[in-house]
């Protein structure tokens, strides 16, 4: 199908760098002019794009968008989709899952928002992730084994990502998982209509196929001791997640039918919870609360419920819904409340819209005050009031109290760790402390990542797995665990890219002056990607014509149709739409190959490199004997790649 396009939102950009009346001098370093020339000449400066800097997993977003639009074709004839997938997997081995459920902070950071609308990065990732699964693209086992063994405790996104990156480096990995299946919150915290289980199983399966040993239904501290881990393995990575939900901090929240969102979704995704009580109130405002509300609408409620079939008994593991499938079910009435106004809820905008369309009533700017109980001690209503927010602190508005009748209250207001037998690792607040390299202070050879450090996005946990694997690799190799870069992502590396095409600079023992004609270095190039993120002020935005975003199609489900509907809602873009969307990328901080510098140079000092010598980041060269430092190439560079450096 052809995707819908988002409306263009032109921001009145022009081709002018300056406005009428601009007369204030720039910093003196930028004003070294005599008539139409200066002593400055262009140099090429790579910076990290804001989409990548905003991605918690560290995706080289700009890199795989360049592949999708055909700018970076590689050199071995690999299909572009596989080439792009490999580039994605260098940071994140779950593109098909993350392309569906990640709230896409990369798109919030996209500089294209200053032109009209963001690039649909998440939609491109979705398509490429699907393509890789459909075409059986896997990961090869490492060519050599180091003989080192790492225990990964927890088979969620952080643990699986760490296992993947450690196996790439040749280390032996054993995953210890307390549940009966791998996936963590991807499986037990998100409903299957958002993460189809065949997609999740496919992306997990190719990691396990690299030679990862898996021990399911195994809890550390109960089935395996800490001492045994330290004895049998060279390093340990803790990725046990935040398994305990936070109860409501109000009187009466100890009622048996007040449960947490984590427990609710866990019971549903394990197949135990198949129906709910008639009226459900969900307290939250984030993605978990939306998932709870949407699942409750799909489950509906049974009209004749036995005591053992009450949702709280099922969720707490006391029974299972063995009669729910035979009982008559009706759509549950679900109300979701949030401290923040609806438009400022932390849940993804698309998920909020879908929940409302499916019949979930959302009330924003309200805070819970008390759980009202009946004569049996069960919650019968939730008393709330309207509120205003002072940062993250709600301020109640006097005289606005009201109550919502309910049969079940679900608290989805946050999570904490469940360390149990692992109290020795507790930092004092139910979590495990970590330094910048994700080492556990006071526990040599132990590393940690994911929600047990700080509950956040799935893609944050994936990023922790990558960073921890790098630290563990350094530790196992006896190296100093180095400082993390200021911009901690998987960076574009021009030297590696040139080496891919067999054109890496020749080795040179000592860099010398006057080597511009030699092959011992990449000349007139500076890599600041480890330290700097390029902002829209450095781009020439007037170069870009407005172009509507290609929006993924979606199966719209009305409230009366939602009961029992667990089909996937989000539809992938077509290949043509993916390519068109990738062409909207402005290649911030790296050459866009637009020819502007060559076209507008009045001295004809800029020329394209011969085709055999080109690669991403090396498309043009400057003849400095002709250059007069007029700054025009810098002014017309759309991506901000050209900077004016001082000459002699």
| Model confidence pLDDT, tens digit, residues 362-389 | 999 999 999 999 999 999 999 999 999 9
Q: Which single residue is written with the structure tokens 């004839």?
A: 77
If DSSP states are collapsed to H, E and C, what string results for 75-94? CCCCCHHHHHHHHHHCCCCC
Render 504-537 in DSSP notation, one character per residue. Answer: PPPP-SS--SS-TTSSSS-TTEEE-TTT-B--GG
Could you give the percent of the chain with pLDDT greater than 90?
Answer: 59
d(CA 244, CA 262): 7
In which region does residue 426 sit, left (phi positive, over 0), alpha (psi from -120 to 50) or beta (all else)? beta
Closest among 214, 223, 224 to 180, alpha carbons compared: 214
Contact of 538 with 634, CB cutoff 8 Å: no
Alpha carbon 599 to its chain's center: 38
User: Do residues 241 and 391 make contact, with C-beta atoms less than 8 angstroms apart?
Assistant: no
| 507 against 222, higher pLDDT | 222
Instruction: Give dist(CA 211, CA 142) in Å, integer.
Output: 9
Q: What is the mean pLDDT of the chain?
A: 86
Distance between CA 117 and CA 120 in Å, rounded? Answer: 9
Place of tokens 């294209």: 112
Quick one: average pLDDT of 92-120? 93
- pLDDT for residue 330 is more than 60: no
Could you give the CA distance from residue 475 to residue 597 in angstroms, rounded to a whole number? 46
Confidence band of 509 (pLDDT split at 50, 70, 90): low
pLDDT of 647 strictly over 80: no
- Distance, in Å, from the CA atom of 167 to the CA atom of 15, rounded to the nearest integer, reads 50
Provide, rounded to the nearest whole percent, the portion of the chain with pLDDT above 70: 86
Instruction: Give the 3-state secondary structure of residue 404.
Output: strand
Backbone angles phi, psi at 314, to 5 degrees: -70, -50
pLDDT tens sequence across 402-449: 999 998 888 988 888 888 788 888 888 889 999 999 999 999 999 999
CA distance 381 to 373: 7
Least confident of 101-110, 132-141, 506-515, 614-623: 506-515
The whole-angstrom separation of Cα 142 and Cα 60 is 22
Six-digit token string for 404? 């919502």
| Per-residue pLDDT band at 65 (split at 50, 70, 90) | very high
Asked whether the beta carbons of 369 and 386 are under 8 A apart, the reply is no
Domains, the chain, ordered by start? 30-48+491-510+518-545+584-648 (no CATH), 54-137+550-578 (no CATH), 149-242+421-476 (3.50.50.60), 245-416 (3.50.50.60)
Average pLDDT (564-576) is 87
CA distance 406 to 387: 21
User: Where would I find the H helices in 169-248?
Assistant: 185-188, 197-208, 226-232
Q: How many other CB atoms are there within 10 angstroms of residue 221's CB atom?
A: 17
Q: What CA–CA distance (Å, rounded) separates 199 from 10?
A: 37
Token pair for 556? 């719209």
Closest CA to 122 of 94, 103, 146, 150: 103
- Segment 618-632 shows an average pLDDT of 90
**Cα distances (angstroms) measured from residue 423 to each of 234, 427, 430, 447:** 22, 9, 9, 16
């Amino acid at each position: 199908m052809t995707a819908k396009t988002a409306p263009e939102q032109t921001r009145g950009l022009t081709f002018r760098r300056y406005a009428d009346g601009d007369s204030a001098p720039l910093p003196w370093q930028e004003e070294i002019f005599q008539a139409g020339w200066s002593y400055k000449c262009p140099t090429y400066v790579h910076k990290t794009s804001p989409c990548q800097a905003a991605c918690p997993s560290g995706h080289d977003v700009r890199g795989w968008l360049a592949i999708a639009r055909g700018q970076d074709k590689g050199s071995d004839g690999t299909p572009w989709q596989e080439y792009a997938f490999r580039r994605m997997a260098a940071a994140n081995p779950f593109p098909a899952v993350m392309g569906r459920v990640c709230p896409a902070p990369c798109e919030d950071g996209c500089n294209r928002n200053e032109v009209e609308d963001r690039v649909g990065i998440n939609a491109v990732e979705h398509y490429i992730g699907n393509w890789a699964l459909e075409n059986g693209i896997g990961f090869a086992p490492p060519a050599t084994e180091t003989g080192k063994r790492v225990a990964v405790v927890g088979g969620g996104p952080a643990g699986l990502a760490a296992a993947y990156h450690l196996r790439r480096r040749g280390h032996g990995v054993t995953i210890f998982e307390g549940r009966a299946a791998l996936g963590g919150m991807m499986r037990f915290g998100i409903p299957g209509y958002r993460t189809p289980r065949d997609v999740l199983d496919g992306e997990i399966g190719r990691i396990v196929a690299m030679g990862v040993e898996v021990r399911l239904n195994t809890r550390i501290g109960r089935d395996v001791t800490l001492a045994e881990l330290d004895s049998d393995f060279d390093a340990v990575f803790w990725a046990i997640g935040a398994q305990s939900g936070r109860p409501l901090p109000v009187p009466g929240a100890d009622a048996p039918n007040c449960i947490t969102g984590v427990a609710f979704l866990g019971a549903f995704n394990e197949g135990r919870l198949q129906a709910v009580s008639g009226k459900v109130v969900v307290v939250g405002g984030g993605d978990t609360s939306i998932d709870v509300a949407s699942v409750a609408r799909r489950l509906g409620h049974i009209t004749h419920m036995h005591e053992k079939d009450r949702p709280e008994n099922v969720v707490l593991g006391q029974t299972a819904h063995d009669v729910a499938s035979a009982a008559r079910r009706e759509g549950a009435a679900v109300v979701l409340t949030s401290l923040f106004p609806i438009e400022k809820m932390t849940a993804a905008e698309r998920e909020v819209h879908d929940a409302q369309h499916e019949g979930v009533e959302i009330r924003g700017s309200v805070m819970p005050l008390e759980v009202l109980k009946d004569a049996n001690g069960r919650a019968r209503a939730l008393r709330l009031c309207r509120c205003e927010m002072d940062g993250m602190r709600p301020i109640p508005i006097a005289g606005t109290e009201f109550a919502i009748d309910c049969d079940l209250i679900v608290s989805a207001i946050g999570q904490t760790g469940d360390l149990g037998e692992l109290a020795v690792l507790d930092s004092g607040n139910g979590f495990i402390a970590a330094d910048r390299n994700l080492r556990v202070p006071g526990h040599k050879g132990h590393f940690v990542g994911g929600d047990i450090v700080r509950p956040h996005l799935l893609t944050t946990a994936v990023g922790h797995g990558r960073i921890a694997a790098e630290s563990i690799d350094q530790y196992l190799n006896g190296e100093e665990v180095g400082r993390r870069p200021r911009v901690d992502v998987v960076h574009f590396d021009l030297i590696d890219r040139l080496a891919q095409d067999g054109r890496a600079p020749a080795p040179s023992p000592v860099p010398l002056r006057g080597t511009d004609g030699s092959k011992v270095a990449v000349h007139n190039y500076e890599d600041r990607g480890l330290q700097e993120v390029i902002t829209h002020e450095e781009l020439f935005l007037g170069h870009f014509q407005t172009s509507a975003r290609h929006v993924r199609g979606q199966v719209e489900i009305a409230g009366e149709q939602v009961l029992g509907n667990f089909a996937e809602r989000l539809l992938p873009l077509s290949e043509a739409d993916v390519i068109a969307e990738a062409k909207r990328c402005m290649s911030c901080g790296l050459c866009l190959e637009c020819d502007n510098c060559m076209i507008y140079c009045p001295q004809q000092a800029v020329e394209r490199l011969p085709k055999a010598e080109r690669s991403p980041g090396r498309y043009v060269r400057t003849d400095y004997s002709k250059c007069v430092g007029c700054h025009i190439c810098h002014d017309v560079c759309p991506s901000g790649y050209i900077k004016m450096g001082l000459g002699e």
